[in-house]
Chain A
Amino acid sequence: MASPVIQLTQLEKCYGPVRALDKLTMDIEAGPVGLLGPNGAGKTTLIKLLLGLLEPTGGGARIAGFDPTRRADRLAIRRAVGYMPENDCLVPGMTAVELVTTMGRLTGMSYRDGITRAHEVLDYVGLDEARYRVLTEYSTGMKQRLKLAQALVHDPKLLLLDEPTNGLDPKGRRHMLELVYDLGHDQGKSLLLCSHLLPDVERTCENVVVIHRGRTLSAGSIAEMTRSDETWLRVEVADRAEGFAGGLAEAGYTYVKEDASGFRVQLNGADDGDALFAVAARAGASVTSLAPVTSSLEEVFLDALDEAEAAG
């Protein structure tokens, strides 16, 4: 098994009395990983600590094999990692080609490599026709793609993407998610995607880490977290839905009526669902759909937050 790209050990960061990260311990494996958390959860602080822009109060971290608290490692991290900030970060008066070339050169590229690479990544993110326009004329979607391009210019193995779909219209968002998906799945990049938009994480990442108040609430594969609860089924019936509801009650099932013809039914013990067809037949209804109930990432996220709130 490959070593984790990010390792956090009892990582702690306090701003005066406020504890932004509270002894955070986790390993983040290679591949696309979502970092979820409500505002103030500590996501941005974590990214800054990983880039060496903040000093931790306690504990340690390793990213791409380097220790961000060591000055010498800090520069190596910034060479190995591509960072796409959340906020606008345009350099006034520059064009996209100039900005990306400068970022490449600051990372250690020659002028020729920098400019060649700038054109390649601007092509990749779809800014081919706008690359010589000054950045102040860019739309929000173009700015987001440009930020991704500058993060990619030195072809890093690990990308830290902070809210990449922020402020995008549906088309722009879809394009950005396609790029993120491509980078994570087809180009073999490891990426840490910070987002409060759960569908974005669900579409592009396989693993997710949920943090809240500087602590890890849950971490693991999205498929595992949202896997079906096999004790509940969603049943759709045609005709005589009321009769079917009565039949369920008579047979001792716990159920929730979701709409005019849909029910969520909890199975009893070793019941495999076939009995529901018998209930429907007795009520004169016909079952048109039967499927296990699955949780969305949003439900998992909200449940985890509720549990954390309840636990204090």
Chain B
Amino acid sequence: MARTNTELYRRFQGELNPRVFRFYPLFASEVRTSLKKKIPMLLLFIPPAIATVVFCFIIHGKYLAEGQSTSIGGLRGVAAIVAQRAMVNVEVKQLIAEFVNGMRLFLFLAVAWYGSGLLAEDRRLGAHLLYFSRPITRVDYFFGKFLTVAFFGFLTLTLPGLVICFLAAWWSPEWSFLREEGDLIWRTIAFSAIWIVFICSLVLAVSSLVPRKTFALIGVFGLLAMSAGMGEVLGELRGELQALSVWRCLRRIRNWIFDYEDWLTISFDVDLAFYVVGGVTAVCVAIIAWRLRRLEVVA
């Protein structure tokens, strides 16, 4: 046969080593690819970063006020005393609970944006054919995808929360934050873990069911809006039915974790909130498992 290709085929001289964490290359490659788009990154991560800086300043101000007796920021007299009292009265626990509550929105937006296409677009474009012809299992594939969205959730909620906690510990006089309120670190981790696992499972489950990223985005927003609507309307009839709103369940869990006095009346027990959130997460994971099996077989 006449030949025109001039490049030589080179043998691979290295070794193929089966990994313990076979999902890692998939996770790394998905994160790298997702971060190529700059505008979503700016829109989704700059506000949490700004909020983190603002809250850090407030906490810094609190500990500064606690450490000073008569002046703050160059103010003298009555104004200084009022400002100092105000700063001293700031409760770090309350502040962090408010912070993580506010960051939920960005967590949700980031996970929905980056996660909604992960399974849907793979299937639409046939990328799963390539993945499943490699030595990875469905579990590896799931972890590769799940950790990708969880990573973005971590960046918007867990990391800022932990930064605030660590700076609070650093600025507090004689590490008083760690001694008196050190459990806030674990509470922040627990709260963000519940949120991340729930939202990531939901987004991936919807993504596995629809053929396009846009449909998955609409589906996730639609499901949560429907759940919230049902919870609000039926909750008027009977208090426990508020638990149909997953959003409200997560709020109830937040109040419980941070021991937080919420202005909003929530008329159901935290156990019910955990059952609802856990149940929905379990259903989502079951859907993902079923769809991944089909994805591999259909491949």
Contact = CB atoms under 8 A, between A and B. Distances in A.
- Most chain-B Cβ atoms within 10 A of its Cβ — which of A78, A87, A91, A110? A91
Interface stretch (B2-10, B159-167, B178-186): B2-10
Contacts of A79: 16, 18, 135
Contacts of A174: 4
Contact of B1 (A106, A107, A154, A178): A178
Interface string A170-185: 0000110111011100
Interface residues of B, number: 46
Contacts of A183: 9
Contact of A98 (B10, B33, B125, B131): B33
A93 B2 CA distance: 36
B25 A106 contact: yes
A85 B36 contact: no
A85 B7 contact: no
B22 A106 contact: yes
A110 B16 CA distance: 8
Contacts of A102: 25-26, 29
B237 to A, nearest CB: 46
B299 interface: yes
A90 interface: yes
A124 interface: yes
B133 A75 contact: no
Contact of A182 (B5, B15, B16, B17): B5
B291 to A, nearest CB: 15
Nearest to A127: B7
Contacts of A113: 12, 14
A260 B249 CA distance: 89
A280 interface: no
Nearest to A113: B14
- Most chain-B Cβ atoms within 10 A of its Cβ — which of A87, A107, A155, A182? A107
A203 B129 contact: no
A178 B5 contact: yes
B130 A107 contact: no
A78 B5 CA distance: 28
A41 B8 CA distance: 36
A150 interface: yes
Interface string A108-132: 1110010001001001111010000
Contacts of A179: 5
Interface string B124-139: 0111111111111100
Contact of B4 (A53, A54, A178, A204): A178
B297 interface: yes
A53 B117 CA distance: 23
B76 interface: no
Given A88-B126, A105-B25, A181-B1, A93 B9 contact: no
27 contacts: A53-B297, A85-B126, A85-B130, A85-B133, A87-B126, A89-B126, A89-B127, A91-B33, A91-B125, A93-B34, A98-B33, A101-B29, A102-B25, A103-B130, A105-B28, A106-B134, A107-B16, A107-B134, A109-B14, A123-B7, A154-B16, A178-B1, A178-B3, A178-B4, A182-B9, A187-B9, A204-B1
